[in-house]
């Protein structure tokens, strides 16, 4: 990570404060699977939203992170229109969060987010390795109804709920049921 920051990032942007960028990376790791909020990151790191946007662009250009766009078509309810953020290498996200053992991973409050990151990153990598650009999204409306992942293949949308829980709960399918009730294809 140190080499990446010192060599690659500094070559792409004029990085003045290495500690601030590292803080940004760590805070971003703590937000995997969440909607990108530039203002919140800007406030937490202590830099402008423009700087955060530039740093995110560098991380995306160097394949450290990727965004999952929201799904929205002409539907009745307003939906969320900001992307979610994921790390290409979930191990890097875990490292930045100080997770070094399997035991730590199971106890960490971000376990579910990291698992979601792992599943989505592997779907993306698998598709790209086949020469396919995956058409994937997430769905969330203004009432909080959410589907973790939507995969469009051959014109059909497949909703996917990603959970790291040890047992099944009917709560897990509420977002799927809501989405399917919208009748979107």
Point out which residues pair with 65 in neighbouring strands.
87
- What are residue 35's DSSP bridge partners? 84
* Phi–psi pair at 147, nearest 5 degrees: -125, 125
CATH of the domain at 55: 1.10.10.10
Q: What is the number of structural domains in the chain? A: 1
Whole domain around residue 35: which residue ranges? 2-181
Instruction: Lowest mean pLDDT of 1-15, 55-69, 131-145, name the range.
Output: 1-15
pLDDT confidence tier of residue 175, bands split at 50, 70 and 90: confident
Q: What is the pLDDT of residues 89-145, one digit of tens each?
A: 999 999 999 999 888 888 888 889 999 999 999 999 999 999 999 999 999 988 889
pTM of the entire structure?
A: 0.88
For residue 134, the model assigns a pLDDT of 93
Instruction: Return mean pLDDT, the chain.
Output: 88
9-23 per-position pLDDT tens digit: 666 676 777 788 899
Asked if 62 contacts 12 with a C-beta cutoff of 8 angstroms, the reply is yes
Nearest to 102 by CA among 86, 116, 115: 115
Q: Which strands form 156-160's sheet, in the order they lie side by side?
A: 136-140, 146-153, 156-160
Sign (positive or negative) of CA dihedral 11, 25, 22, 95: negative
pLDDT value at residue 84: 97
């Amino acid at each position: 990570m140190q080499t990446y920051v010192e060599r690659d990032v500094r070559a792409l942007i004029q990085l003045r404060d290495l500690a601030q960028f590292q803080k940004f990376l760590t805070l971003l790791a703590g937000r995997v699977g969440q909607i990108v909020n530039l203002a919140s990151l800007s406030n937490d790191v202590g830099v402008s939203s423009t700087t955060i946007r530039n740093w995110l662009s560098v991380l995306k250009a160097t394949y450290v992170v990727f965004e999952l766009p929201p799904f929205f078509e002409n539907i009745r309810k307003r939906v969320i229109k900001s992307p979610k953020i994921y790390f290409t290498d979930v191990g890097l996200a875990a490292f930045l969060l100080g997770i070094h053992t399997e035991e730590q991973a199971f106890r960490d409050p971000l376990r579910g987010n990291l698992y979601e990151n792992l599943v989505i990153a592997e779907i993306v990598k698998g598709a790209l390795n086949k020469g396919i650009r995956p058409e994937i999204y997430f769905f969330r409306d203004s009432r909080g109804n959410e589907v973790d992942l939507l995969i469009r293949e051959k014109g059909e949308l497949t909703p996917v709920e990603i959970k790291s829980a040890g047992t099944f709960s009917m709560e897990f399918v509420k977002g799927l049921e809501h989405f399917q009730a919208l009748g979107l294809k």
